[in-house]
Structure 1
Amino acid sequence: MSNTLPKIEREDVGGGKGRYVVRGPDGAEAEMTFTSIGTHQIIIDHTGVPDAFRGQGVGLHLVTRAVEEARAAGKKIIPLCPFAAAQFRRHPEWADVLKR
């Protein structure tokens, strides 16, 4: 696993939908998609990490970015994506942004 975390870009596609994406040099993309619900909540609906990124912590890096941005904006996260939900179970320090 590399000590350098890849750059994450945020893309807002309209209608409250968007994604965080990491692009590899070979064109592979890892993504975590989200939907904003009003001004205070987001749903993480999907995390996809292709084989090119496996074992590098990219999926966790994507969810962590969403947590950091939600915390800074005073938002709550509803992790519908199974991967994101598992990460919330593993990281009790994120409880302040978890919508219960």
Structure 2
Amino acid sequence: MNEVQQKINEKDGAFYIDVNGKQQALMTFIFAGNDRFIIDHTEVNPEINGKGFGKMMVVKAIEFAREQKLKIIPLCPFAKSVFDKNPQFNDVL
């Protein structure tokens, strides 16, 4: 199974999925103050659409937010749709 990886610095970060050593999915975010971050973009290689990679990255962002006691602002339409469909994630909004 392909795992979501993350790279984070002081200002922003990303969650991504590599398949066979090549990045196939990416979700970027920026920190907004000390207690929240904004998911601003999600992209998945069209060749692997429908495999749930986008949602996997959103779930990883939610896990990160919960661990770090952060809130998420889902500006990205895809991320927002995941939150809209899954009320169990509303604790990080």
Distance 2:21 2:11 in 1: 29
- TM-superposed deviation, 1:15: 4.7
Q: Judging by fraction of residues, say which structure has more strand.
A: 2
Detail structure 1 runs of 4+ shifted over 4 Å in the superposition.
none
Give the TM-score taking structure 1 as reference length.
0.85
Cross-structure match for 2:7: 11
Counterpart among 13, 21, 45 of residue 50 in structure 1: 45
Give the TM-score taking structure 2 as reference length.
0.91
Distance 1:29 1:36 in 2: 23
| Residue ranges of structure 2 left out of the alignment (5+ in a row) | none
| Residue ranges of structure 1 left out of the alignment (5+ in a row) | none
Q: Over aligned residues, Cα RMSD in angstroms?
A: 1.4
Structure of greater Rg: 1
C-alpha contact 1:35 1:43 (8 A) present in aligned 2: yes
Q: How many residues align?
A: 93
Quote the sequence identity (%): 37
